[in-house]
């Protein structure tokens, strides 16, 4: 694949939701053309005798059974760290005021 056009650069920018000035268009055209040319070199690599590979480490997923660990606090234990309580609940400052 050869050099890409400025219209293609504009289209890529639009798809990427990027605004590119006319001054930068030529720079991006050159840069993107170089990237595409570099990637196209991969087609020159001989791969017909290679087996497809999805990963190369040999690692496998290790699963464990889920265990439920119950470590619930009583209401008194949960409220022990605060002085501001009312009817068994935490008392906090208002997050929203009536003027908002």
Model confidence pLDDT, tens digit, residues 5-62: 999 999 999 999 999 998 999 999 999 999 999 998 888 889 889 888 888 888 888 8
Range of the domain at 23: 6-44
The DSSP H or E segment spanning 71 is none
The answer to whether position 26 is within a domain reads yes
Provide CB contacts within 8 A for 12, sequence distance 6+: 32
The answer to whether position 13 is within a domain reads yes
The answer to whether position 35 is within a domain reads yes
Model confidence pLDDT, tens digit, residues 50-94: 888 888 888 888 888 999 888 899 999 999 989 999 999 999 988
pTM over 0.85? The answer is: no
**DSSP conformation class of 80:** T
User: How many domains is the chain partitioned into structurally?
Assistant: 1
The answer to whether position 59 is within a domain reads no
The answer to whether position 60 is within a domain reads no
């Amino acid at each position: 694949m050869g050099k890409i056009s400025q219209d293609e650069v504009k289209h890529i920018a639009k798809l990427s939701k990027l605004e590119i000035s006319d001054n930068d268009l030529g720079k991006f055209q050159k840069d993107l053309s170089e990237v595409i040319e570099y990637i196209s070199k991969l087609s020159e690599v001989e791969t017909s005798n290679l087996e497809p590979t999805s990963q190369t480490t040999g690692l496998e997923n290790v699963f464990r059974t889920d265990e439920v660990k119950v470590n619930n606090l009583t209401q008194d234990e949960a409220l022990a760290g605060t002085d501001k309580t009312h009817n068994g609940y935490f008392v906090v400052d208002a997050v929203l005021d009536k003027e908002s």
